[in-house]
């Protein structure tokens, strides 16, 4: 049953009754996504909340110079809130998005459209509470990122990345991580080298 990973995810927050689980039938779509395939493009409204069953995605914007800026990653092995990816503002307003969502790896997602999500909110009130927790977690994450950008060093931002996305450091190329941190890939390599040197020095001491 392709819905099981999603149901297990929700039950990690609050148990669902069998009658509640049945309401998901026909309201969730499974999709197989190729590497570098977009599930959201700038200029189009975000029509789905996407739950990552397998693989990895990035949410990013492109500035006037054509430079990409990663805002979020979503992967199957990360924290529960980090398994969801969407342009939340565009999803709820229906306005064109200014962002892209792209698969970094071949991936499998379960998608819920707005009208189906609102139906589930109405008929499963606990689901509304679950999504409020998820969105609150993402808001706290955004606040922390803004503070890190203002006051943290590149090394501190990288350590925060490792804490939030512990499985992704070995899966993502330097270019993607550097874009998320707001530094160049070359500087990220230097940060990693300096951290390795510090650890080696501590062991010798």
Domain at 14, CATH number: 2.60.120.10
Residues 46 and 134 in one domain: yes
- Residue 198 reports pLDDT greater than 60: yes
Query: Cβ distance 40 to 91 under 8 Å?
Result: no
- Residue 23 reports pLDDT greater than 90: yes
Q: For the chain, how many structural domains are there in total?
A: 2
> Residue 3 in 3-state DSSP?
coil
Structural domain boundaries, residue 71:
4-151
Residues 178 and 142 in one domain: no
What is the signed CA dihedral for 162, 85, 90, 3, rounded to 10 degrees?
-160
pLDDT digits (tens, 9 = 90+) for 26-49: 999 999 999 999 999 999 999 999
Burial call 177-195: b when 16+ CB within 10 Å, e when fewer: bbbbbebeeeebeebeeee
* The last residue of a domain, from among 125, 151, 177: 151
Residues 86 and 142 in one domain: yes
Residues 101 and 182 in one domain: no
Residues 143 and 196 in one domain: no
- Can you give the pTM of this predicted structure? 0.90
pLDDT band at 149 (very low <50, low <70, confident <90, very high): confident
């Amino acid at each position: 049953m392709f819905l099981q990973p999603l149901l297990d995810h929700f039950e990690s927050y609050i148990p669902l009754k069998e009658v509640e689980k049945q309401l998901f039938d026909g309201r969730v779509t499974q999709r197989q996504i190729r590497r570098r395939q977009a599930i959201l493009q700038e200029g189009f409204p975000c029509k789905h909340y996407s739950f990552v069953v397998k693989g990895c995605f990035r949410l990013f914007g492109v500035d006037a110079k054509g430079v990409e800026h990663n805002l979020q990653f979503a992967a199957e092995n990360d924290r529960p809130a980090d398994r969801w990816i969407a342009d939340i503002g565009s999803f709820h307003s229906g306005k064109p998005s200014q962002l892209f969502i792209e698969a970094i790896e071949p991936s499998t997602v379960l998608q819920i459209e707005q009208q189906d999500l609102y139906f589930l909110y109405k008929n499963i009130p606990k689901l509304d509470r679950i999504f409020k927790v998820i969105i609150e977690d993402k808001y706290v994450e955004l606040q922390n990122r803004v503070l890190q950008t203002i006051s943290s060093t590149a090394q501190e931002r990288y350590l925060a990345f490792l804490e939030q996305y512990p499985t992704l450091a070995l899966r993502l190329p330097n270019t993607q991580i550097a874009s998320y941190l707001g530094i160049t890939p070359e500087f990220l390599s230097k940060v990693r080298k300096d951290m390795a040197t510090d650890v080696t020095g501590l062991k010798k001491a």
